[in-house]
Structure 1
């Protein structure tokens, strides 16, 4: 690795906590317009591809908020980890799902919220710097509903580094991103064209584009953007790149 790349990574790490400020403020105000009160239809449609017949796998929901799909997979016997920077996300999730939980320090930068059987957990942390032996190299299934598309390109580099630390060798990964005319909207979420996805994930993932469509809940995006912008959700299935693949 060149000195230039090392220095760029150090600069990114130094600024990594900048991204959490907006989200912590939104959670403090309970401004969570993006939250779905039902299971995500894309995840429902493709969960068979994500799970691939596996039972009891360890699953990750990056930048999870209080997504109710976490409880669903826990009830199906999977071991679930969410990660979010806001304590309110974890507290609201367990309260709304009527689940008792404990909270303890995971390390100097992270707190772990868990139910009694330790199979349903939310790590309160900066996902961009998450690095802990409890979960490093153990994540078999990932569902990312838009998290990758809510951060800047510099932060996306750290996201990729985090994922490479966390993923087990046999991982499967559903990635959902948004696509729209970024001349009409330049804020969060950011449009993620296919070439961007392949640029960031292509060196370690086999990438299959599953679909791209305007979702039924497009109004959530349009309300946030304050424009009737056509927003598509595009879903990819990611698997480990095999040796010899270009």
Structure 2
């Protein structure tokens, strides 16, 4: 899922300007905004009161296509991959994973690492090459197959127990992709993890699904685990996303009761691609979450 580079279209930028902690909080504009009443085309039919119909403001997604809602369905994601609209895919390992890798793994030893809504990110092979067991989740089958094919990895497939979907398993390394709906996952299905690397997955989730998103991911983290969470703050009136902005207050609301939250980076990521979306600001915020001990 989405991670955006300023110039190539992939999400992380290496030339970072770190800003003071506590920066701008995101403002979300209602998706159905009204324009002024001067548009004669919005007039009601003859014989009514003469009042004017409100007209919807069109928004654009990251591909600059006009849309009327910020909500994306699973079929929308399938269509993106079928149409090759995957500019969000990074052609390199995410710089923030490399930068904060040691903080995430918390010492030596082999870890079991989860990458939600993974697409075909190179991050998974990079983590595997470091000796870890890697589990990704991706709803689009095409993305799963492309990951294995582009890395020349042999794999098998089988039905996922307890959930509708397919489990892709590398034959020579400990790497698996659960090709299914993220919101169907539980620890009974996928197990628990020492580390979670969320490289824009939560930022791609529909804003109205954030409570559900957190309710799925927190129980997947072991009591001694670490969750590296890469999110965005953005201000706009016409950008439908993803990525979607999320404020400090909302992150606290979702996670602070169960996790300690440490901000590792806050950086300006405004570039030409983001300006084309009509954004006024675009900031990346990386946090490390660890479960509170009870």
Match of 2:195 in 1: 141
- How many residue pairs align between the two structures? 222
Matches within 5 A, 1:30-179: 30-107=84-161, 108-117=163-172, 119-131=174-186, 133-136=188-191, 138-179=192-233
Match of 2:285 among 222, 228, 234: 234
Structure 1 runs (4+) deviating above 6 angstroms are none
Match of 2:268 in 1: 214
Aligned-residue offset at 1:219:
4.6
Q: Which has the higher contact order (CA 8 A, sep 6+)?
A: 2
Rg larger for: 2
Aligned-residue offset at 1:222:
4.5
Q: What CA distance in whole angstroms lies between the structure 2 residues aligned with 1:74 and 1:235?
A: 22
Consecutive unaligned residues of structure 1, counting only runs of 5 or more, are 1-17
Relative to total residues, which structure has the larger helix share, 1 or 2?
A: 1
Q: What CA distance in whole angstroms lies between the structure 2 residues aligned with 1:73 and 1:168?
A: 18
Task: Describe the shift of the 1:66–1:219 C-alpha distance in structure 2 as closer, same or farther (beyond 3 A).
Answer: farther
Matches within 5 A, 1:189-200: 189-200=243-254
Consecutive unaligned residues of structure 2, counting only runs of 5 or more, are 1-71
Aligned-residue offset at 1:106:
1.2
Aligned-residue offset at 1:178:
1.0
Aligned-residue offset at 1:38:
0.6
For residues 193-235 of structure 1, give each alpha carbon's deviation from its aligned partner in whole angstroms, at most 9, with x where no partner exists: 111111111111100011111249x455445x2x464311110
Q: What CA distance in whole angstroms lies between the structure 2 residues aligned with 1:70 and 1:198?
A: 28
Q: What CA distance in whole angstroms lies between the structure 1 residues aligned with 2:220 and 2:274?
A: 30
